[in-house]
């Protein structure tokens, strides 16, 4: 059974304060996350192994965005998101 079947999936936007490494200006950016919330119950066809994996599974979110475009109009360079973790557990 695929791990994805353990979770309900949705996209969420969260704001983060980021510093552009080119112009060093800080601004608020909306980062898209994929939120995977653990289901209450496993689908019926799960076997023993699936149940063991499901028991250990935790809700988490994955950062989808890697790059942001600087909001400073005189800069507008793209930069990599750093300082924001790419995976976070939510329970
Ligand atoms: Zn910049």
Instruction: Write out pLDDT tens, residues 40-91.
Output: 998 888 999 999 999 999 999 999 999 999 999 999 999 999 888 899 998 7
* Coil, strand or helix at 66: coil
Sequence-ordered list of residues with C-beta below 8 angstroms from that of 88, at least 6 positions apart, any chain: 60, 61
Q: Which run of H or E residues covers position 81?
A: none
- Tell which residue, 5, 7, 1, has the closest CA to residue 49: 1
- Look at residue 4 and tell me whether its pLDDT is greater than 80: yes
Global pTM? 0.81
Question: From ligand 1's centre to the CA of 62, what distance in Å?
Answer: 25
Question: From ligand 1's centre to the CA of 6, what distance in Å?
Answer: 40
Q: Note the pLDDT of residue 79.
A: 97
Question: From ligand 1's centre to the CA of 8, what distance in Å?
Answer: 36
Say how far apart CA 66 and CA 53 lie, in whole Å: 29
Question: From ligand 1's centre to the CA of 21, what distance in Å?
Answer: 7
- Tell which residue, 6, 10, 4, has the closest CA to residue 64: 10
């Amino acid at each position: 059974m695929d791990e994805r079947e353990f979770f309900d999936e949705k996209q969420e936007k969260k704001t983060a304060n980021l510093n552009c490494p080119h112009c060093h200006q800080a601004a608020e950016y909306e980062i898209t996350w994929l939120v995977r919330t653990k289901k209450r119950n496993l689908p019926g066809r799960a076997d023993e192994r699936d149940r063991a994996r499901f028991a250990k599974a935790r809700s988490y979110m994955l950062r989808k965005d890697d790059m942001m475009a600087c909001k400073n109009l005189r800069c507008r360079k793209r930069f990599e998101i750093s300082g924001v973790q790419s995976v976070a557990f939510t329970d």
